[in-house]
């Protein structure tokens, strides 16, 4: 039986590596994206994944998409909430729009997607949810009050949802990556990056595929007893 996996933000960066890994492991992947049509097309061609354009911060769009996947493709076994954006700035200068955009994309999206996927998983008494948070949701970061708040919220969301879902055969876990070499971090000032790397025990930034390997494990039967964890 084909297992379907849905990856939000699944056509670029960490999300693309997750899509690639899950596709290689035999999943039929549905990779969601918001605006980059070129990246979506490249993802489809490279991985065989189906791509859908959707605003994961919009409750109704998520509901419509999940119903479409369940009714037209197949049952969603694995949901990876990976979509994320940054709109950095010190708090005393942060606009309401910058706050809202980050909270909606990074945190509201978890509710929007899970709210429509979880009932199906509960009915089947089987499923995996992996939320991609951030180390900055654990320790905070200068200039990222909005991002840190959203990512910290994902951790609390995960722990509570895991408690509610475990008896139905559903596991819910969070991955909190440190600094990963993606387009998002490549735009950072090199002096800042050098300072960050000096604080990393491995002496380097992480690779997207290293996060993808952990997602694949948490989505597997081998991780059936791992639940409510926040992995770094």
Looking at the DSSP assignment, which residues form a beta bridge with residue 132? 175
77 annotated active-site = no
Which among 27, 33, 147, 179 is annotated as catalytic? 147
Instruction: Classify the C-alpha dihedral 36-147-144-162 as positive or negative.
Output: negative
> Cα(155)–Cα(141) distance, rounded to whole angstroms?
16
Query: Taking the CA of residue 13 as centre, how many other CA atoms within 13 Å lie in the half-sphere pointing to its CB?
Result: 22
b/e sequence 37-60, b meaning 16+ C-beta within 10 Å: eebbeebbeebebbbbebbbbebe
Question: How many angstroms from the chain centroid is the CA of residue 197?
Answer: 23
Alpha helices in 5-144 (DSSP H): 13-24, 37-47, 59-68, 96-103, 109-124, 136-139
Whether the Cβ atoms of residue 106 and residue 127 lie closer than 8 Å to each other: no
Closest C-alpha to 69, from 11, 15, 116, 24 = 116
Please identify every residue annotated as catalytic.
Answer: 147
């Amino acid at each position: 039986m084909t297992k379907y996996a849905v990856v939000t933000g699944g056509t670029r960066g960490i999300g693309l590596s997750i899509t690639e890994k899950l596709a290689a492991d035999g999943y039929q992947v549905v990779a969601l994206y918001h605006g980059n049509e070129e990246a979506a097309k490249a993802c489809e061609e490279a991985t065989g994944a189906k791509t859908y354009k959707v605003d994961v911060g919009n409750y109704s769009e998520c509901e419509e998409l999940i119903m479409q996947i369940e009714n037209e493709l197949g049952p969603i076994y694995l949901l990876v909430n990976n979509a994320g954006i940054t709109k950095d700035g010190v708090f005393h200068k942060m606009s309401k729009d910058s706050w809202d955009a980050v909270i909606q994309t990074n945190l509201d999206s978890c509710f929007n997607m899970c709210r429509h996927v979880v009932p199906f998983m509960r009915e089947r008494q089987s499923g995996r949810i992996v939320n991609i948070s951030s180390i900055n949701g654990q320790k905070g970061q200068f200039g990222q009050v909005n991002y840190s708040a959203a990512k910290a919220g994902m951790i609390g969301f995960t722990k509570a949802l895991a408690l509610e879902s475990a008896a139905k055969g559903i596991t819910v876990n969070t991955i909190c990556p440190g600094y990963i070499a993606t387009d998002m971090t490549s735009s950072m000032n090199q002096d800042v990056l050098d300072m960050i790397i000096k604080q990393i025990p491995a002496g380097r930034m992480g690779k997207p595929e290293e996060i993808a390997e952990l997602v694949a494990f948490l989505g597997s039967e081998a991780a059936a007893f791992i639940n409510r964890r926040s992995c770094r």
